């Protein structure tokens, strides 16, 4: 009996000792579980945001929880495009603008560029001009649309209407600008920048601007090297004078959504768990197979802004079917189950993807996206990243429009080289837009074409070359080949959603079309997205942990 009691006491002591040991090693979130060293110690050492909870919702966006869905499943295929074969895909959680980018949102961007890079300065002239939407897209040879040409972008009556006349290149540059402006706000709020520092750039008090990537890699370079005069209360802490990626304050980049993200968000299967909807049989962003409201309140009202028939863009005067003839004000219709407005109708929307008829789900069924061009930061002779201090990188688009690809203060980027990709299994070159493009695994008609040694590929679009000479005149060199078989190349992008010009057929989220990335129309706009870092959905994670306890 005594031996038994001794064993019990000893075992209890061992258990209590193990609990004590565990408690000592993990009682403080500022003590490393790997080494027992202090984290965030005033004396120095490893600094990390151990108080980080989860990514906050970025301005203007709503949270889209990721999941699985059937991409490319359409109810009707009267066009027989064969470009949306159904594939099962999984999407990670992300954030998306609740509405399309509006005229007033884009005007804020234009105003910033005009103030910081005055177009009257010859060095900056093409920055502002290159960002301007093409208002002439409204003109029609046999239509009187001058009212929209002159007023749609700038008149306050159209302030909350989606911006149009913006090509894909301009949309991506807007997203980059927005990233920097939002992160300036975050750094001010957390005390890394003094209050209202951002306005000193606009007022001309600081010669230089803010770039997120430049700040993270070489913070002393932003604001023209004058950041010391703009630092906030965090400057008192020499260890944490500048925010880092590990601070958890810097937002990921705004960007265009991928086609897979856009289609998933538009379908919004989160609102129903019916088997048919889960398998991809939901026709529109709303419930039901019709474009009119079937509920008791508002019965018969149209649920989107689209063209209802030949010569019918809005219905009969006095009782308009959809409340708009051209575009309509955002939030005029009910949102889908993710809280996203106008995911069908109003304007089509650019997405990030390069267009191909085939979706290669054999290679990837997770966050599918075609368009990756992997880049790296250029490193100078001093071993530091190269900052484009005074240099502006311009590009002449095929239509002659000059756009600024890199602005002063941004980091120079270059393609990854064979040295970085040596013996890698996940990628072997920088530009992957044409990966498995026209080979037996991605083309049903591969046998009709010669191999690449004969210079014939599945997508051999014309190779035009347009540039400007020293006098600013366009020099056009057109491809005169008679053997081109396609207009598809790495410069064409997908757009989706249907618009005020489209029939209901195009409102299906799975329908897809393409247009060269340098072109703009009066029925294509865009909205931004942002990746979510961390958990798929923190609220559900918390619930599961509580249940486990």
3-state secondary structure 73-118: CCCCCCCCCCCCCCEEEEECCEEEECCCCEHHHHHHHHHHHHHHCC
What are 547's two structure tokens? Answer: 């249940």
pLDDT computed for residue 454 by the predictor: 43
CB atoms within 10 A of CB 329: 19
Tell me the C-alpha distance between 181 and 222, whole Å. 13
Residue 199 lies in a domain: yes
Residue 52 lies in a domain: no
pLDDT computed for residue 452 by the predictor: 46
Contact assessment for residue 360 and residue 438, using Cβ atoms and an 8 Å cutoff: no
**Residues forming beta bridges with residue 375, ordered by sequence position:** 415
Label residue 27 exposed, middle or buried (CB < 10 Å: 0-12, 13-18, 19+).
exposed
Contact assessment for residue 285 and residue 270, using Cβ atoms and an 8 Å cutoff: no
* Angle, alpha carbons 29-33-39 (nearest 5°): 50
Residue 453 lies in a domain: no
Range of the domain at 176: 61-417+490-531
Distance of CA 513 to the CA centre of its chain: 18
What are 366's two structure tokens? Answer: 């997770």
Tell me the C-alpha distance between 505 and 520, whole Å. 22
Residue 56 lies in a domain: no
Domain count, the chain: 1
Label residue 525 exposed, middle or buried (CB < 10 Å: 0-12, 13-18, 19+).
buried
DSSP tag of 300: T
Which letter, b or e, does each residue of 113-147 get, where b requires 16 or more Cβ atoms within 10 Å of its Cβ?
Answer: bbebbeeeeeebebbbebbbbbbebbeeeeeeeee
Q: Which of 74, 52, 413 lies closest to 263, judged by CA?
A: 74
What are 184's two structure tokens? Answer: 């300036």
Tell me the C-alpha distance between 76 and 503, whole Å. 13
Contact assessment for residue 521 and residue 284, using Cβ atoms and an 8 Å cutoff: no
Tell me the C-alpha distance between 231 and 282, whole Å. 52
Tell me the C-alpha distance between 332 and 102, whole Å. 13
Tell me the C-alpha distance between 340 and 337, whole Å. 7
CA 62 → CA 57, 274, 374, distances in Å? Answer: 7, 24, 28
Residue 227 lies in a domain: yes
pTM above 0.85, yes or no: yes
CATH number at residue 97: 3.90.1580.10
pLDDT computed for residue 509 by the predictor: 93
Contact assessment for residue 85 and residue 359, using Cβ atoms and an 8 Å cutoff: yes
The span from the first CA to the last CA of the chain, in angstroms, equals 36
What are 19's two structure tokens? Answer: 């609990």
Residue 485 lies in a domain: no
- Taking the chain (549 residues) in runs of 10, the rounded mean pLDDT of each run is 48 44 56 89 82 91 94 80 86 97 98 94 90 96 95 97 97 97 95 90 88 93 90 78 91 97 93 51 78 73 87 81 90 94 96 89 87 92 83 83 86 91 91 76 51 56 81 81 84 96 93 95 98 82 42
The SS3 call for residue 524 is strand
pLDDT computed for residue 434 by the predictor: 85
Residue 126 lies in a domain: yes
Tell me the C-alpha distance between 303 and 310, whole Å. 19
pLDDT computed for residue 208 by the predictor: 86
Residue 483 lies in a domain: no
């Amino acid at each position: 009996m005594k031996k038994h009691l001794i064993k019990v006491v000893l075992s209890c002591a061992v258990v209590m000792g193990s609990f004590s040991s565990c408690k000592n090693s993990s009682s403080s979130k500022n003590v490393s579980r790997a080494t027992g060293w202090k984290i965030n110690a005033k004396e120095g050492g490893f600094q990390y945001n151990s108080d980080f909870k989860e990514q906050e919702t970025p301005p203007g966006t709503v949270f889209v929880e990721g999941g699985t869905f059937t991409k490319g499943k359409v109810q009707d295929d009267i066009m027989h495009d064969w470009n949306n074969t159904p594939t099962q895909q999984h999407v990670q959680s992300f954030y998306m603008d609740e509405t399309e980018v509006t005229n007033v949102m884009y005007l804020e961007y234009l105003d910033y560029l005009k103030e910081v890079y005055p177009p009257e300065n010859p060095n900056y002239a093409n920055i502002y001009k290159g960002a301007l939407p093409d208002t002439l897209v409204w003109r029609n040879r046999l239509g009187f649309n001058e009212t929209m040409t002159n007023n749609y972008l700038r008149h306050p009556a159209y302030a909350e209407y989606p911006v149009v006349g913006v090509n894909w290149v301009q949309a991506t540059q807007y997203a980059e600008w927005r990233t920097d402006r939002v992160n300036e706000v975050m750094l001010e709020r957390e005390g890394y920048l003094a209050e209202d520092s951002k306005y000193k750039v606009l007022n001309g008090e600081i010669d230089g601007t803010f770039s997120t990537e430049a700040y993270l890699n070489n913070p002393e370079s932003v604001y023209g090297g004058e950041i010391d005069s703009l630092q906030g209360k965090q400057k008192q802490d020499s260890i944490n004078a500048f925010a880092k990626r590990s601070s958890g304050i810097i937002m990921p980049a705004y960007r265009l959504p991928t086609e897979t993200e856009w289609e998933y968000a538009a379908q919004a299967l989160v609102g129903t768990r019916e088997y048919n909807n889960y398998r991809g049989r939901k026709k529109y962003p709303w419930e039901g197979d019709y474009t009119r409201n079937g509920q008791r309140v508002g019965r018969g009202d149209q649920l989107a802004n689209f063209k209802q028939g030949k010569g019918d863009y809005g219905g009969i005067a006095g009782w308009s079917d959809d409340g708009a003839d051209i575009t309509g004000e955002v939030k005029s219709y009910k949102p889908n189950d993710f809280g996203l407005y106008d995911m069908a109708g109003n304007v089509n929307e650019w997405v990030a993807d390069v267009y191909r008829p085939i979706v290669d789900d054999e290679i990837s069924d997770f966050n599918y996206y075609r368009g990756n061009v992997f880049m790296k930061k250029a490193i100078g002779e001093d071993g530091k990243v190269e900052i484009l201090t005074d240099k502006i990188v311009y590009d002449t688009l095929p239509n002659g429009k000059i756009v600024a690809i890199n602005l002063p203060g941004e980091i120079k980027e270059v393609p990854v080289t064979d040295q970085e990709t040596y013996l890698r299994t996940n990628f072997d070159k920088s530009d992957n837009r044409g990966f498995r493009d026209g080979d037996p695994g991605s083309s049903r008609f591969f046998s009709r074409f010669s191999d690449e040694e004969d210079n014939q590929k599945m997508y051999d679009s014309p190779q035009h070359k347009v540039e400007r000479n020293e006098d600013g005149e366009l020099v056009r060199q057109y491809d005169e080949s008679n053997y081109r078989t396609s207009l598809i190349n790495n410069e064409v992008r997908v757009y989706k959603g249907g618009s005020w010009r489209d029939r209901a057929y195009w409102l299906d989220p799975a329908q897809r079309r393409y247009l060269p990335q340098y072109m703009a129309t009066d029925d294509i706009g865009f909205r931004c997205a942002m990746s979510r870092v961390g958990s798929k959905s923190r609220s559900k994670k918390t619930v599961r942990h509580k249940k486990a306890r």
